[in-house]
Structure 1
C-alpha cells in the first residue's frame, strides 16, 4: 500500500474519491437488488418448469400404460434437431434464451393406427421443449447467481473498505494539517513577541 502523503493536495484528492464512491455506491446497491430480484424470478420460473415436466411425465405414465408394450423406439415418434439459443443482456449480464427448440413430430407409419400415438407424440414434444427450457433456465440461474455474488463483493468493497479507508485518510490529513496550522500560529505569535521585546543595552 502506498504511503499516504499528508498534504492539501492529497486531502483534495481523497475528498474527490470519497464523493465518487458515495455517488456510485447507491447505484451499485440498486443493481444488486435488481439482480437478486431477477435471480428470484428466474428460480420461480425454473421451479415452475420442473413441476410442468413432472406433470407431463405423470400424465403420460397414467394415461398411456400401454407404452410398455411398444415394439418401436420412442425416438421414432419425435425428431430432435438443433436448438437455437441467443444471448440477451439483462442488467449487464449476458443470458441465454431459447429461440427455437428444433424438435418436430415424425409422421406415423401407415401401419401404425393407434389413436393414442398422436397424443403421445405431442406429450413427448412438450417434454423435450421443457427439458431444453430447463437446461437454459439453469444456465441463467448460474449466471445471475455469479453476477449477484460479484456485485455484492463490489458493494462490500465500497461500503466496508474504500469509503471507510478514504474517510479515515481525510480525517488523518485534516488532523495533521490542523496541527501544522496551529504550530505555525504559535510560532508566529512567539516570533511576534520576540520582535516586540526591547533590544538589550549595548
Structure 2
C-alpha cells in the first residue's frame, strides 16, 4: 500500500475516491452480467446454426445417395465476399453477418446431373452457415476479452481500491483524532500553567 499523507486534504481526497469507486462498481458489475448473458446467447445461436447445418448436410447426402452420381459441389461454389456490419454490445464492437456473394462458376448443364442446381443451393446454405458460425466465434472472442477486462476491473474495485480507500480513511481519521486529542491536552496544560502563573 502506498504511503498516504495524514492530512485533512488527503482525507477528503480518499473520501472522494471511495465515493467514485462505489459509484462505478455497480456499472461495471452490470456490464459484466450483460456480457455474460450476451456470450450465452451467441453460443446458443451457434448451436442452433450448427444443428440447421447438420440437417441440411443430411438431406443433401440423402439426395446425392438417391441419385447415385457423385459430384464435387465445392468445385462449383466459391465465396467471393462476406458482408458484415458493425454492431455494439455493452460497448464492444462486434461484426454481424449480413450475407455472402459467390463467384460465378459455369458448368455444363448436359454433363451434370439434374439435381445439381438444387444441391448447389443447399451447399451455399451450408457455406453461409459456416461463415456465420465463424463470425459468431469472433463475437464470442471479443465479448470474452471484454468480459475478462471488466471482471478484472470489478475485482480491482471490490478487492483492492474500495478496501484500500476505507483503510486510508480509517488511518487518517485515527491520526487526526489523536492530533485533535493531543491539541486539547496541550491546551489544557497551557491553560493550567496560565492559571498557576496568574494565581502566584
TM normalised by structure 2 equals: 0.91
Q: Distance in 1 between matches of 2:80 and 2:68?
A: 26
Q: Is 1:28 matched up with 2:6?
A: no
Counterpart mapping for 1:55-134 below 5 A: 55-65=55-65, 69-70=69-70, 73-103=72-102, 106=105, 109-112=108-111, 114-134=113-133
Residue 53 of structure 2 corresponds to 53
For residues 79-116 of structure 1, the C-alpha deviation after alignment (integer angstroms, 9 at most, x for no partner) is 32111223222211111112331136756533146332
Aligned equivalent of 1:197: 196
Task: Provide the residue aligned with 1:42 in structure 2.
Answer: 42
Q: Secondary structure at the match of 1:49?
A: helix
SS in 1 for 2:78: strand
Distance 1:33 1:91 in 2: 10
- Counterpart position of 2:166: 167
Q: Check conservation: 1:103, 1:129, Cα contact below 8 A.
A: no
RMSD over aligned CA atoms reads 2.1
CA distance in structure 2 between the partners assigned to 1:96 and 1:9 by the alignment: 48
Normalization by structure 1: what TM-score? 0.90
Structure 2, unaligned runs of 5 or more? none
